[in-house]
Chains A and B, each alone.
Chain A
Amino acid sequence: MNLSIKAKIISLSTAVLFLTVGVSILTSNYVFTKEYTKAIQSRLLAIGKSLNFQLDRLLQLDIPIQDITGFEEQCREIVKKYEGIEYAMVTDVNGRILFHNDPSQHGKVSTDPETLNAIKSKTEVIRICAEHSPKDYEVVIPVFSVSGEHIAAVRIGSPVSFIAQKVKKVAGYMIAAGIVLLSLAVVLLYFALSVSVTKPLMKLLGAVNEIKRKGTDFTHRVEIKSTDEIGQLASAFNEMTDVIQKTTVSRDYVNNIIESINDILIIMTPDLKIKAVNKVGCELLGYKEEELVGSALEAIFPGEEVTLRKALSEMMNEAKEIDNYEMTSKSKGGEKIPLLLSCSVMRDSDNNVRNVVCTGRDITEFKRLEAQLRYAQKVQALSTLTGGVAHEFNNILQAILGHASLLQIKLKKDDPLKTHADQIVASSERAAKLTHGLLAFTSSQVISPRKTDINEIIKKEENLLAKILGNDIRLRTVFSDERLTVMADAGQIEMVLVNLCTNARDAMPHGGGLTIETRKVSNFKIREAGYVPQDAEHLELAGDFCEIAVADTGIGMDEKIKERIFEPFFTTKEVGKGTGLGLSIVYGIVKQHNGYMDCYSKTGKGTTFKIYLPIVKAET
């Protein structure tokens, strides 16, 4: 039976109290019966003597006993006055009733020998009289005349059952009182136990549960002020938690440390099965911890398990550590994640390997930035080279064009050489145009920047752009509500828009949609979006940026193409259909405006070019 301590104590105490009360009642009844019998007998004797005294007073008046009248009244008064007296009478020495509380008894003679003996006895007799039924306790007191002659006897009787009735009544009272006291004691005990035992114990239990719930948080203390055993237990508990708190590293504390690590943490068994993976690791790899626990390391590093196992085995055997191993893991979704892996071995006191602990840092961003940097360096190199060549070539072209023009002027119209001269001039002009494009890529053109609202430039060119896109492509423009004032050469920006629209049109041979959207973004937003320009220092200094997003719904491109789109003369178009300078010129113009651009594209998903130009304070 599952009983609380309080219930047990109360049950036990109730049982003991019940037993005590029961025994007390029985004992009391026994003693009461004995003592009450004595008391009744003494009382009978006293009452008998008082009646005898009254009779004696009358005799002292020299009235012969036979001349006394109305003494029945005194007998009747005795019976009436004292509870439990059944009869009071005066008999002569032969047992004839002279006076009786019941006048009808007058003159009757007792025939019971024992009674007669008692009457004839000249001493006081206390006895149980069986003359009547039920039996009586009776006192017989001799009456003497003035001259000392034994002339009569006073008899007073009380039923034996009277005592039994009294005992029963007293027992009833005692049982009632016992029940009341017992109930009171139980209630008091209940409250006393609640206050002094249950509540403190529940407090203590609450503290234990609190610690159990929180794991290894031992800061909880119990406040019990009593100095009894429970108080001592509480003090001991508090001292124990103090000691534990001081000497034990809590699981929470360890968990907090593990969870605060930004790197992947993998704990493996000596046979290189995964034992635990931290939250960062699970999130990065897309697994739940329970999916990984128990798996072999191949689950995370498919294709590199041989290399890794070998390295780890060597580490365990030679006590070497694996430090900054570049590995590629694979997420649950199949994505490859470059990691920088470092491992160490946990050993027990006997130098046995307990666990292998590996931390892996996700270097995806690092790799992206590395590629971006490489690309920027490549474009920069191309730009320098292209600029130098274009500049020199342009100088030569100017000389060729100048001389060809002079030749053209000197020759007559019908001169057969004039056609050649015209061809030289035309070719030179085409070459010059080409070099201008190259110079634009290298940002070497002479531009005339001034404060201008980007939205105004786009709105002015909207019709032209729509014509370039043709009827199958729907142009949609979304302008920011606020002015986007930048330092820009409007002509150059128009060229950027034209080139981007031309490219977009070519990417949507079957029609589609092109959206030009402007908005104001903060430097922080650019960084948050993952766009980190090559000269970040410059970007840091700038405040807000104007973003011009040109998004088409065209065929898109893969990563390889995307990596080369800003290279001069790189084109995916058929030979003769494009110069391969369009996006190079756009890139050069944007850069010349202290801006940056990036391309977001996936095959079949369209392409978005985003251009960022620094916003300047508009003139008022």
Chain B
Amino acid sequence: MKIKRLRAIFFAGMFLLLLQSTVKGESAKTQAAPKYKILHIMSYHSPWRWTDGQFNGFKDALKGLNVEYKVFQMDTKRNSAKEQKEKIGKEAREVIESWKPDLIYTTDDDVQEYVAKHYINKSIPFVFSGVNKEPKDYGFEKSSNITGVLEQEHFIESVKLLKEIVPKAKKIAVIFDDASMWDPVKKRMKEKANQLPGIEFISWDIIRTFKEYKQKVKAYEGKADAIALIGIFTFKDEAGKNVPYQEVLKWTAEHSKLPDLGFWIDRVYYGTLCAVTVSEYEQGRAAGKIARAILTDGKSPAEFTPKPTVKGQPVVSLARAKKLGIKIKSGILLSSEVIKEFEWNKQ
């Protein structure tokens, strides 16, 4: 009996020692892991698939690190006037100065213009994603603290997807609004056009009004086999106001008899037949990997040359295909994100 009691006491002692050492180990581990403060400034707003997807990809790339996030939304889609953008940009800079983050993650172009540009060659690191313009347009090419991921459209892939869905499509008309942001896009498209043998781009039209747009779309019938809808944000109505692009797309879906393509998924939600979209998640994840290397490996942002992401996500609108009387091959449907309904029908 005595021996049994002694044995029980011994094992209990050992258990307590083990428990103590485990607890100590855990606390030591917690203490050892550094805490990073990351400020995420988005040009647009949340919730939105595009902005949220990027942020989710960014966070996934930093999984396992002890990070405190703060998000600042510039919401420039709604505050699109220059004065508004400057004002909100200043507010964002004030947050930076007061909160003193370890790294700033910026998405899309407006934040680069109104915030990041003010911190070129400063000590605080900036990592961006979803940027359409060239880095040199913001003066980032000589910056030691700003790098990131460029958002470049999957032009070739998108046209090929359209060609798969509509094999007879050979002539394509391209539409832009008058926003300067499309200049680099147009340039890249023209540079790559020769990689699409058998495809003729019959026009590269810049349209300023919604009326003009409607006329052009109707006029393309018989001349073009398909339309590439690129810039559709600043078509003015009769009152001189911007017609929301959703409305532009809805009209197109309801009235155009030509299949069309875009580069962004939200276009497909609103009726564009197909797009190989830039993956917002991939953009965010690529930016997150750079941020992780800067924070944990002590690398300098200057070591990372800004590059576009390479993968694209095919998206097709089955609703639009039905409207156009097109049967999409099962192989395309199985490998793409399929939008069954128009966005406006969901509400």
Q: Which of B329, B332, B334 contacts A57 (CB 8 A)?
A: B334
CA distance A58 to B318 in the complex (A): 11
Chain B residues with CB below 8 A from A71, complex form: 330
CA distance A63 to B327 in the complex (A): 10
* B328 beta carbon closer than 8 Å to chain A: yes
Q: Are B328 and A69 in contact (CB under 8 A)?
A: yes
Q: Are B329 and A54 in contact (CB under 8 A)?
A: no
Shortest distance between the CB of B15 and any CB in chain A (Å): 46
* A70 beta carbon closer than 8 Å to chain B: yes
Q: Are B331 and A62 in contact (CB under 8 A)?
A: no
* B230 beta carbon closer than 8 Å to chain A: no
* A541 beta carbon closer than 8 Å to chain B: no
Q: Are A58 and B334 in contact (CB under 8 A)?
A: yes
CA distance A62 to B338 in the complex (A): 11
- Closest A residue to B333 using CB positions: A58
Q: Are B329 and A69 in contact (CB under 8 A)?
A: yes
Q: Are B340 and A61 in contact (CB under 8 A)?
A: yes
Chain B residues with CB below 8 A from A54, complex form: 330, 334
Shortest distance between the CB of B137 and any CB in chain A (Å): 41
A63, A67, A73, A74, most chain B CB atoms within 10 A: A63
B280-333 residues at the A interface, CB under 8 angstroms: 318, 327-333
Chain A residues with CB below 8 A from B338, complex form: 61
Q: Are A62 and B340 in contact (CB under 8 A)?
A: yes
B328, B330, B332, most chain A CB atoms within 10 A: B330
Sorting the interface of chain A by its residue count into under 10, 10 to 19, 20 to 34 or 35 or more gives 10 to 19
Chain A residues with CB below 8 A from B327, complex form: 67, 69
Chain A residues with CB below 8 A from B328, complex form: 69
Q: Are A58 and B340 in contact (CB under 8 A)?
A: no
Q: Are A68 and B340 in contact (CB under 8 A)?
A: no
Chain B residues with CB below 8 A from A74, complex form: 330-331, 334
Q: Which of B329, B331, B333 contacts A61 (CB 8 A)?
A: B333
Shortest distance between the CB of B334 and any CB in chain A (Å): 5
Q: Are A70 and B340 in contact (CB under 8 A)?
A: no
Q: How many A-B residue pairs have CB under 8 A?
A: 31
Chain B residues with CB below 8 A from A61, complex form: 318, 333, 338, 340
- Closest A residue to B329 using CB positions: A70
Interface residues contributed by chain B, number (CB under 8 Å) = 11
Chain B residues with CB below 8 A from A67, complex form: 327
Chain B residues with CB below 8 A from A58, complex form: 330, 333-334
CA distance A67 to B326 in the complex (A): 11
CA distance A74 to B335 in the complex (A): 11
Given the known A-B contacts A57-B334, A58-B334, A61-B318, are A73 and B340 also in contact in the complex, defined by CB atoms under 8 Å? no
Shortest distance between the CB of A116 and any CB in chain B (Å): 25
Chain A residues with CB below 8 A from B329, complex form: 69-70, 73
CA distance A73 to B318 in the complex (A): 19
Given the known A-B contacts A61-B318, A61-B338, A62-B340, are A73 and B331 also in contact in the complex, defined by CB atoms under 8 Å? yes
Q: Are B340 and A69 in contact (CB under 8 A)?
A: no
Give A42-85 as 1s and 0s: 1 = Cβ < 8 Å from B's Cβ atoms. Answer: 00000000000010011001110001111101100000000000
CA distance A54 to B333 in the complex (A): 10
Shortest distance between the CB of B229 and any CB in chain A (Å): 24
CA distance A262 to B334 in the complex (A): 119
CA distance A456 to B4 in the complex (A): 130
Chain A residues with CB below 8 A from B332, complex form: 70
Shortest distance between the CB of B164 and any CB in chain A (Å): 10
CA distance A67 to B321 in the complex (A): 13
- Closest A residue to B328 using CB positions: A69
- Closest A residue to B164 using CB positions: A70
Q: Are A70 and B318 in contact (CB under 8 A)?
A: no
Shortest distance between the CB of A444 and any CB in chain B (Å): 130
CA distance A71 to B331 in the complex (A): 7
CA distance A574 to B169 in the complex (A): 169
CA distance A338 to B2 in the complex (A): 109
Chain A residues with CB below 8 A from B330, complex form: 54, 58, 68-71, 73-74
- Closest A residue to B318 using CB positions: A61
CA distance A63 to B326 in the complex (A): 12
- Given A70-B329, A71-B330, 10 other A-B contacts at CB below 8 A? A54-B334, A57-B333, A58-B330, A58-B334, A61-B340, A62-B340, A63-B318, A69-B330, A70-B330, A73-B329
Q: A-B pairs with the 9 shortest C-beta distances? A: A70-B329, A71-B330, A69-B327, A73-B331, A70-B330, A68-B330, A58-B330, A69-B329, A54-B334
The chain A residues found within 8 Å of chain B, CB to CB, are 54, 57-58, 61-63, 67-71, 73-74
**Can you report 16 A-B residue pairs in the complex whose CB atoms are below 8 A from each other?**
A57-B334, A58-B330, A58-B334, A61-B333, A61-B338, A61-B340, A63-B333, A67-B327, A69-B327, A69-B329, A70-B329, A70-B330, A70-B332, A71-B330, A73-B331, A74-B331
